[in-house]
Structure 1
Amino acid sequence: MSKILNKLFRALSNPRQALLYLLKLRISRLIPDKAYLKLKYRIIFGKKLNLNNPQTFNEKLQWLKLYDRNPMYTMLTDKYEVRKYVAEVIGEEHLIPLLGVWERFEEIDFDKLPNEFVLKPTHTSGDIFICKDKSKVDLTELRKIVNKWLKREYYWFHREWPYKNIKPRIIAEKYMVDDSGVELKDYKFMCFNGKPKILFVASNRHLEGGVKIDFYDLDWNLLPFERHYKRSGKVMPKPRSFNKMIEIAEKLSQGIPFVRVDLYEVDGHPYFGELTFYPGAGFEEFTPEEWDYIIGSWLQLPSWKSKNKNNYK
């Protein structure tokens, strides 16, 4: 109770944070998706969400949440089910080896897992447990973490509807590192109707100082903007499998107005990470802001938008 009260007092000292806190409460589920997204957008960006004629990348992501509801997106968002699609389209050699999948924490046989492994839920975003030494894992504490994951109803946070009907499960994957020997950097390709246009590299994710994000064009030129996170201040080495990564991103993004294809590289070999339909849930600011419009201009909404936009409220 004290933790909840502390969060509430902190929120009340900042009106913007107070409003965002209220949107996290269960009662906010009574608000229809369209009204909820309009309200949250205004709170975060301080301006009206234009759904009739969206111009920015963030606006168009909100539009896609409401009106581009391809049932296939649920399977592609599920961290377990998407593996079947990836194996079919680009080959299972690009999948990080799977160690197991379970519906309950009690089903996990830790004696059979290797000393190093990664746990993550199939139905949320950003949740991960990295084990580098199984003998040091506090299973009681880990049970609390995993059970909290399984109870999360991630759709309600940002109204990213593909998460709504994913079956909550836990998967374990092989622990892997890249050439640095320290971490596994994300290479995240932003793809528009099957064409990667730019990418960003996420580094330092689980290290001191927090995640750093650097945007590049496909010629590996560093781009002059940030999106919510700070840059690393250096040019990352271009991955050896970069051309193969572009080919993979093209194949996995075919027929989709926008999707981000996340890849890793280990010993010069690309591995699949995940598909992300709404990066930052469409609520992360660009600095300078003009890049929100530049990247938004690349995202061509489906031609049927004027006919179907009233189908979802």
Structure 2
Amino acid sequence: MNFYKKIIRSQKLRFKIMRMFSFLPEKTMIKLIYLIKTGRKPNLNQPKRYTEKLQWYKLNYRDPLMTKCADKFEVRNYVKSKGYESILNQLYGVYDNVEEINFNSLPNSFAIKANNGSGTNIFVNDKSEVDIEEIKKQLVIWLRPKKKSVYKEWCYYNIKPKIVIEKLIERDLNNDLPDYKFFCFNGKVYCLYTMIDYTDNHDNGKLGFYDSNFNKLPYRRSDYGEIKSHIQKPKNFEKMVEIAEKLSEDFPHVRVDFYNVNGKIIFGELTFYNAGGYTTFVPDEFDFILGDQFVLQKK
């Protein structure tokens, strides 16, 4: 855990403190947060680390297509345009206003998410056991105009807030959502990670990196424990790699996320700045290994 998280346990308070410095120029703010989160000054003139290159990416690569693909609703059209409509999760509705949502007409279980955020999800397993009015209050907050990202992730700035309601994806025998996050560079999968023991409490999660053939790599993120047990190669793994490479071909770098439920591939999202670009890896050399895959270009 980063030292600032140990000192300031509340995530809301941490964001509030960082927003106090949001008046700073983008480059200055990025350097400051990188220093706070990693304990290092970033080299943005000649970046070598993956995490440094992600900061450079924020500042120098600005393709409008990234905004479309960062939108968790609009990205569905991008996936369709690539010929993969069949992997989209079933959509129950998309809403600009909470009062538009008819909860009575929704099935007993469903997933709610904001189209413009990270971690803005509500999983409803049994509609009769939740407080709909409390859910509505949360959704009203999510629909408020989004402030500019503290982390300066520009592609989220101009996404109009919407509420997306989809089918609730079933969990596996370990009560996890089996998902796989592919790190793609110039349309090629280099590696991926998956997690276990994380769905209901991310702090308890264990994480493992794997190569493009699903061989375990000796690396992990410092904020999660290591997967030490054997994880079986998912069904249709090669198909996931194929789709990830097709969906990533328009970008220098993007993380492509899928769920895989007994071989059924379901699209998750496209993420351009993995963990905001502030991950610390164990061992540290992995930051440079990933950085070597990331060929920078301005746009």
**Alignment correspondent of 2:256:** 261
Larger Rg: 1
Asked if 1:245 corresponds to 2:246, the answer is no
Match of 1:232 among 227, 232, 236: 227
> Is 1:282 aligned to residue 280 of structure 2?
no
| CA separation of 1:96 and 1:22: change in aligned 2, threshold 3 A | closer
Q: Determine which of 96, 111, 133 is the counterpart of 1:140.
A: 133
Task: Name 2:159's counterpart in structure 1.
Answer: 166
> CA contact under 8 A between 1:155 and 1:162: conserved in structure 2?
no
Instruction: Pick closer, same or farther for the CA change 1:13–1:132 going to 2, 3 Å.
Output: closer
Select the residue among 301, 306, 310 that pairs with 2:296: 301
TM-score w.r.t. the length of structure 2 is 0.91
Match of 1:223 in 2: 217
Deviations 1:78-127 (A, max 9, x none): 00000011012032111000000111222110011000100000010111
For residue 272 of structure 1, report the CA deviation from its aligned partner: 0.6
Structure 2 gaps of 5+ residues are none
* Paired residue secondary structure (2:192): strand
> What is the CA–CA distance in structure 2 between the aligned matches of 1:16 and 1:187, rounded to whole Å?
28
Deviation string 1:153-209 (CA, Å, 9 cap, x unpaired) is 264221111100001000000012255373321100000000001000123332356
Q: Distance between the aligned counterparts of 1:15 and 1:178, measured in 2?
A: 33
Query: Structure 1 residues 144, 216: closer, same or farther in 2, change over 3 A?
Result: same
SS in 2 for 1:145: helix
Specify the SS of the correspondent of 2:287. Answer: helix
Count of residues in Structure 1 that have an aligned counterpart in Structure 2: 293
Alpha-carbon distance between aligned partners in 1 of 2:68 and 2:62, rounded to the nearest angstrom: 12
1:16-55 matches, within 5 Å, as 21=14, 24=17, 26-55=19-48
Compute the RMSD of aligned alpha carbons. 2.4
Q: Letter of the aligned partner of 2:239 in structure 1?
A: K
Higher share of residues assigned helix: 1
Shift of 1:224: 0.9
Match of 2:178 in 1: 185
Amino acid at match of 2:193: F
